[in-house]
Each structure stands twice: as structure tokens, then as C-alpha cells.
Amino acid sequence: MDRRQFLSQSLAASGSVLLAKSGSGLQLAEQVPAAVPGSKVSSARFPNGFIWGMASAAYQVEGAWNADGKGESNWDRFSHTVGKIKGAATGDVSCDQYHRYEEDVTILKRLNQKSYRFSTSWSRIQPTGTGALNQKGLDYYNRLVDALLAEGIRPFCTLYHWDLPQALEDRGGWPNRDLARYFADFAGILAKNLGDRITVWAPFNMPWTFTYYGYGVGVFPPARSSFNDFLKAAHTVNLAQGQAFRAIKAASSKATVGSAYGMAPAYPKTDSEPDRAATARYHAMNNLYFLNPAMTGEYPKAFVGDIPYDAMGYMPGDDQLMKVPLDWLGFHYYTRRVVSDAKTASQSVSGGHFGTETEGSSGARDPLTQIHVEMPTEGPLTEAGLEIWPRGMYDLVTQISREYNHPIIEISENGCCYLDTLDDNGRVPDARRIAFHRQHLAELARAIADGARVRAYHAWSLIDNFEWADGYSQRYGLTYVDFRSQKRTVKDSGLWYGRVAASNRLDV
């Protein structure tokens, strides 16, 4: 039996116990490692004005892949290539939010949401990534933003959630330094046209993930596997982040610019000095590699040796281009990591491919950081195979608060995959998803009580959608989608989250 089969069998077993024992999943959750006691859940309170939101991304929800002059993106090309996506799925139609955004905004309103984090498709706005604006593509975002504001929902715009115009991939993709300038032009176009209404901008979603998966290990487009290409791509993205920040601020005086980084709290496998040092390198590479250059102009200490400036394509003065102290920090939390020094690591337990939280299966992840990273399985697992570790939320938020002098924080994503579907009464009783968010939110409330300045939480996702290389085999939505009819049904978790948003408490 391989690890995935083992996981799905144990999941099936634990899931049925959980549902049989408890409607909310809380009782059993109290018996498992890292679970938050029910008393902490019921006493948790969020401050007045706390911003409750939901998140999505253009390629995952919009569909309309070639409508109204949109150009081809790297994800269009990748999903149209045989063998790249589970079930040969594509985002061609997905949940068709391009045509159904009004219905989706109505759901947000019904669930008392105050923020919708969406992303823009670069190739809708500039079909080949440079040059003239495609007005029809921009008009879609005008309509979406206006519909959100009409319902009192804050539009939170991520400029880039992984879909690059294919024409720019053909020019070398992110390892090509010119992309920083093109991206800044794109950012300027958006801020000039939408900046009278959007005040919250994040240039990149999970920059480590798309640069490493796309250029370092090849599980995302353009499927290249070169650590040097990763280093170059990541450096261009750091330059692009800085230049986009300036372009947005120049075009809109109301703009605030932050981030939507993917982060994972990391714990050393043993208390040894090498494992603790490796854990610090993991934190620098995965959590801080794009944050620290923005805040200070400097790369964090992610490497065993010196920073490989030549391999990165670093040029004199780049520190000043990268340095743009962010107005607020946004990051996602899904699951934790356990890290050891690759030279001493036991190679028995390790990662594998779990959606966007992937780790290699053995040895050092790369030659320069020499970290060995595990996705632990001590806690229960979601149906994507990710360990549920609510305490990681507290640890991560308080660590970043400490390290960056108590910045304003937004949780830009948190969520879980469960495959619950419609029952005979037309409901989706996804008690495990309620338990997941409840526990993570209880830990977030604890971090806030201990002084972290967290102002927002975004559940991933408003709606079931295209889950990258996993296609439609994973469901993260708080709203169920029948992909044949496009019918939306708010899941029990969505109804619960709507009550949370209305009351600032979790025992609802």
C-alpha cells in the first residue's frame, strides 16, 4: 500500500467515527493531537470591525479562458497539455465566475462577508503580457469591483495568482529579468483604472510556490527543473514586487500594498544544532524569501553558504529596487513542516505531492539550502492528505509579529479539502470543514489576545474550483458547485461561517 492509499483508508475510517460521534466534529477533535479544547473555542471572540472574507483566484474560478480577447496563459497551455492535470481537467469553464460573478457576490453578501480576495488574469488585460490594454478584459474587473462595493464588500486584489501570459513564458518566463518591468506596467494599468475603488493590493500569491514548482521542480508550468532557474525567477519576482509597489502607489493615492505569501511554521525534527539551523533556513526560504527583501532590501539567510548572487542574476542597486516596506502583511496557513539537516536526516518519512503543499520524497530539497522537509502525519489529515495542526496558526502569526515588529496582518487564505457532497435534502453537511476553521480561528483569536495585530481572515475558498494540477479532484469551497449544471449550494460550513462573520464568535 502506498502512502496515499494508506492515508485515504485511515481518513475514511476516522471520518466516519467523527461524523457518528458528533454533529460538529468538536468532540472527537478534542481527542486528537494538537486539537483545541472546546472551552477555548467557545470563549474565543474577535474584535469589532474584524474583517471576515473569502478568497479565490482567477484561473481557478473564472473560466471564459478565451472570451472577449483574453490571451493564452501558461495555465491554459499547461492544462491543455496531455498528462499534466489529474483527470485531464482544465480551467476552460471551471465555475464560470466570469459570467456568474453576480450570483457569487450575492452569496458573499448572504454570508455577511466584508472582504473578497480575488485575482486578476494578466492575459485578460494584456493578452500578450505587454502593450495595449484589452478594454473588455478590464471591464470584467470593473463590473466585479462595482458589484462588491455595492454590497459593502471590500475588494482585495491579488495581481498575480500564477497565470502568466504564455507570450511571456515564451520569452523565458520569470527567470527573464525583463518581466519585472512588464509586471510593473501591468500593475500600473490596474491601479490607474481600478485604484479609485480598490485600496488593498497584493502583487503576488505564494511567490515561492510558483517559482519553485514551476522552475525548480517542474510540477507547475512551465515544468522546468533547475534550481538555478528557480533562483533567477525568484529574484525577478522580488524586483517585480518592488517595482509594482511603486507603480501602484504612483497611480493611486488610496492604495495600500501588502502580500499574499504562503507560509508554514517549521519545527525542528530534533533539538540538535544542525536541525535547528536547518529549520531556520526553511523559514528564511519558504516564509521570508519575498518578505524580507521588501521590508529591508536584503535576502534572508536561507543558504548554507553565501547568498548565490551571481546565480540569481543580482545586480548592484537591486537592494534598493526590492525594498518597499509593505503597508500590511498577508499570508496563508494550511499546514506545518518538520525540518532536519539533509546531511544527518533519516530518510524514512517524507513528503510527496499534496496539491500546493508539496515536498520532495527524500534527501535534500536542493543543493544550497540542504534542508530535508517532512509533511508530518501526527495530527489528523484532510482529504488532500494535509495534516491538521491548528496550533501552527498561533505559532506562525506570533512568530511573524515578533520578527517584523508587530505589523498589521491579514490571513489571506486558510482552508481544507473535504469531498462532502449533496445529501438527500439538498444540503452539504461538511462538519469536518466547520471543525477545521473553528479550531484554526480559535488559535488565531489566541494570537490576537496575545497582541498580534490581525485584522482579517479569508477562508479558502468561496466556492469549489479548479485545484491546479489536482483538477477537480479536490474541493475546498464553502459553497458546493455541481460542475455539470453550475448550480451553487452553500455548504453547512458556509452557513456557519456566515454566522461567525455576523457575531465575531465561533460557538454559533
The residues binding ligand FCB (CB under 6 A) are: 57, 60, 205-206, 262, 332, 355-356, 413, 460, 467-468, 476
**CB closer to ligand FCB out of 205 and 279:** 205
Q: Provide the pairing of β-strand 453-460 with 51-55.
A: parallel
The least distance separating ligand FCB from the CB of residue 413, rounded to whole angstroms, comes to 6
**CB closer to ligand FCB out of 60 and 401:** 60
Which single residue brings its beta carbon nearest to ligand FCB? 356
**CB closer to ligand FCB out of 73 and 134:** 73
The least distance separating ligand FCB from the CB of residue 133, rounded to whole angstroms, comes to 26
Residue 390's contacts (CB-CB under 8 Å, 6 or more residues apart) are 34, 35, 36, 439, 440, 442, 443
The least distance separating ligand FCB from the CB of residue 47, rounded to whole angstroms, comes to 26
56 in Cβ contact with 118 (< 8 Å): yes
The least distance separating ligand FCB from the CB of residue 16, rounded to whole angstroms, comes to 24
Report which of 91, 108, 192, 101 is spatially closest to residue 151, judged by C-alpha positions. 108
The least distance separating ligand FCB from the CB of residue 333, rounded to whole angstroms, comes to 10
Residue 384's contacts (CB-CB under 8 Å, 6 or more residues apart) are 354, 355, 416, 417, 470, 474
**CB closer to ligand FCB out of 173 and 355:** 355
**CB closer to ligand FCB out of 96 and 413:** 413
The rounded distance, in Å, linking the Cα atoms of 226 and 397 is 32
The least distance separating ligand FCB from the CB of residue 7, rounded to whole angstroms, comes to 17
The least distance separating ligand FCB from the CB of residue 331, rounded to whole angstroms, comes to 11
- Judged on CB neighbours under 10 Å (0-12, 13-18, 19+), 345 is buried
Report which of 70, 320, 313, 366 is spatially closest to residue 179, judged by C-alpha positions. 313
The rounded distance, in Å, linking the Cα atoms of 239 and 227 is 19
Residue 298's contacts (CB-CB under 8 Å, 6 or more residues apart) are 292, 319
The least distance separating ligand FCB from the CB of residue 116, rounded to whole angstroms, comes to 15
**CB closer to ligand FCB out of 71 and 262:** 262
**CB closer to ligand FCB out of 472 and 476:** 476
119 in Cβ contact with 198 (< 8 Å): no
The rounded distance, in Å, linking the Cα atoms of 338 and 275 is 10
Residue 424's contacts (CB-CB under 8 Å, 6 or more residues apart) are none
**CB closer to ligand FCB out of 57 and 368:** 57
